[in-house]
């Protein structure tokens, strides 16, 4: 009897962590005391076309494009919860969804790979509904069949990430690797991580150029 729909999305610029707020519309003709609402968000890659550049970025998730017919499956993004206050007939609430920029997380890697357009999402609802009655309230579970589709603009994801991580990215390293990098930085007196990584990349490029340099001709 309770129906759900997603009406929109917006970036929350001043939350404790990168967060997107999805606007939910809830309809129920009964007098509702409260809803403890849970939601699983899934990304449905089959519902959008991908550019060549996007396919290249997603190769480590789905493999080569010629295998996408077998490997292009939905991705679980995250879980979110919200407490819905009392209403009659209908209500509008915001579902806050924390986001991560950790590229070890498959969903984050997919979202970051998108250039423009929209990201097809599926919201799977569950939880508990408290319905007012003459003797108090009735308790019922939200059926697992309750879901809603929404196409989130890629611009929303980029807006929230640009606010919290302007012109930057984030990577996770093993502690041993981080310790070695810290020693390297201290030994050479680099003033920032950026300076250290630029130096390592330049050294790697230089070695590659030497390895690929053409052999000198015979001396005369």
Domain ranges, ordered by start, for the chain: 3-164, 175-212
CB-based contacts of 220, cutoff 8 Å, min separation 6: none
pTM: 0.78
- How would you write 79-143 as a 3-class SS string? EEEEEECCEEEEEEEEEEEECCCCCCCHHHHHHHHCCCCEEEEEEEEEEEEEEEECCEEEEEECC
pLDDT band at 194 (very low <50, low <70, confident <90, very high): confident
Closest CA to 32 of 72, 77, 88: 88
Q: Is 149 helix (H, G, I), strand (E, B) or coil?
A: strand
Residues 160-190 pLDDT 10s: 988 888 766 666 677 888 788 888 888 888 8
Question: HEC states along 59-85?
Answer: HHHHCCHHHHHHHCCCEEEEEEEEEEC
Count of C-beta atoms within a 10 Å radius of residue 72: 17
Q: Among 77-86, 141-150, 184-193, 206-215, name the one with the lowest average pLDDT.
A: 206-215
CATH of 3-164, one of 1.20.120, 2.30.30, 2.60.40, 1.10.3430: 2.60.40
Please determine, for residue 220, whether its predicted confidence score (pLDDT) is greater than 70: no
Tell me which residue has tokens 């250290």: 196
- pLDDT tens, 33-63? 999 999 999 999 999 999 999 999 999 999 9
- Per-residue pLDDT tens digits for 83-123: 999 999 999 999 999 988 777 789 989 999 999 999 999 99
Helix (H, G, I), strand (E, B) or coil at 147: strand
Tokens 């603009």 locate to 153
């Amino acid at each position: 009897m309770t129906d759900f729909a997603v009406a929109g999305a917006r970036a929350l610029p001043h939350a404790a962590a990168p967060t997107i707020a999805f606007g939910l519309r809830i309809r129920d003709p009964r007098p509702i005391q409260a809803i403890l609402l849970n939601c699983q968000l899934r990304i449905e890659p089959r519902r959008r076309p991908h550019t060549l550049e996007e396919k290249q970025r997603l190769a480590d998730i789905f493999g080569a494009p010629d295998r996408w017919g077998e490997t292009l499956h939905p991705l679980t993004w995250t879980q979110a919860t919200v407490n819905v206050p009392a209403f009659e007939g209908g209500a509008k609430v915001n579902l806050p969804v924390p986001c991560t920029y950790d590229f070890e997380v498959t969903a984050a890697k997919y979202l970051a790979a998108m250039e423009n357009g929209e990201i097809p999402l599926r919201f799977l609802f569950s939880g508990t509904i408290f319905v007012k009655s003459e003797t108090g309230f009735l308790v019922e579970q939200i059926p697992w069949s309750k879901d809603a589709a929404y196409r989130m603009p890629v611009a929303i994801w980029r807006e929230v990430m640009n606010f919290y991580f302007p012109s930057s990215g984030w990577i996770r390293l093993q502690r041993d690797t981080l310790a070695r990098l810290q020693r390297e930085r201290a030994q050479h007196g680099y003033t920032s991580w950026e300076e250290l990584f630029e130096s390592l990349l330049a050294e790697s490029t230089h070695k590659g150029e030497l390895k690929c340099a053409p052999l000198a001709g015979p001396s005369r």
